[in-house]
C-alpha cells in the first residue's frame, strides 16, 4: 500500500497540534531553523531532516506500508529515481541524502 507524501505531511501537522509541539521545539533535533522546518513540512524544501521531523513527532516517514514491497522490483519507482537523478546532479545528491537518512546510514 502506498502513502502519499502529502498524507505524511498532514500527519505531521496533526501530530504537532495534538502533542502541542512547536516547530521551534524541533530546531536543535532536526538541525534546521524554524523557517526551514516549516518549508520541509509544507513541501517547499527537500531535506533529509524530513525523517528527523517525522521521528520527533512519531509519524512514520515511509511512503510504503506493505512489508513485502521490494522497491528494486518496482519499475515505476526505479524510473522515477532515474529521471530525477538524470535531470539534476544536485537533486541526485539530495535524493541520496534522503535515502541514507531513511536507512540510518
Query: 55-101, pLDDT tens digit by residue?
Result: 888 887 776 555 566 777 778 778 888 888 887 888 888 888 888 77
- pLDDT, position 44: 86
Band (pLDDT 50/70/90 cuts) for residue 15 is very high
For the chain, the C-alpha Rg in angstroms (whole number) is 14
Q: For the chain, what percent of residues have pLDDT higher than 90?
A: 23
pTM flag (> 0.75): no
Residue in 34, 29, 39 with CA at minimum distance from that of residue 9: 39
- pLDDT, position 10: 92
CATH code linked to domain 5-103: 1.10.260
- Domain boundaries, given as residue ranges, for the chain: 5-103
Amino acid at each position: 500500500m502506498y502513502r502519499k507524501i502529502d498524507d505524511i505531511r498532514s500527519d505531521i501537522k496533526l501530530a504537532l497540534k495534538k502533542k502541542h509541539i512547536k516547530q521551534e521545539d524541533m530546531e536543535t533535533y532536526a538541525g534546521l531553523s524554524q523557517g526551514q522546518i516549516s518549508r520541509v513540512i509544507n513541501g517547499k524544501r527537500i531535506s533529509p531532516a524530513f525523517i528527523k521531523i517525522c521521528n520527533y513527532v512519531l509519524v512514520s516517514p515511509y511512503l510504503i506500508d506493505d512489508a513485502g514491497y521490494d522497491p528494486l522490483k518496482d519499475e515505476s519507482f526505479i524510473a522515477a529515481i532515474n529521471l530525477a537523478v538524470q535531470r539534476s546532479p544536485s537533486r541526485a545528491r539530495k535524493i541520496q541524502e534522503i535515502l541514507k537518512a531513511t536507512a540510518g546510514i
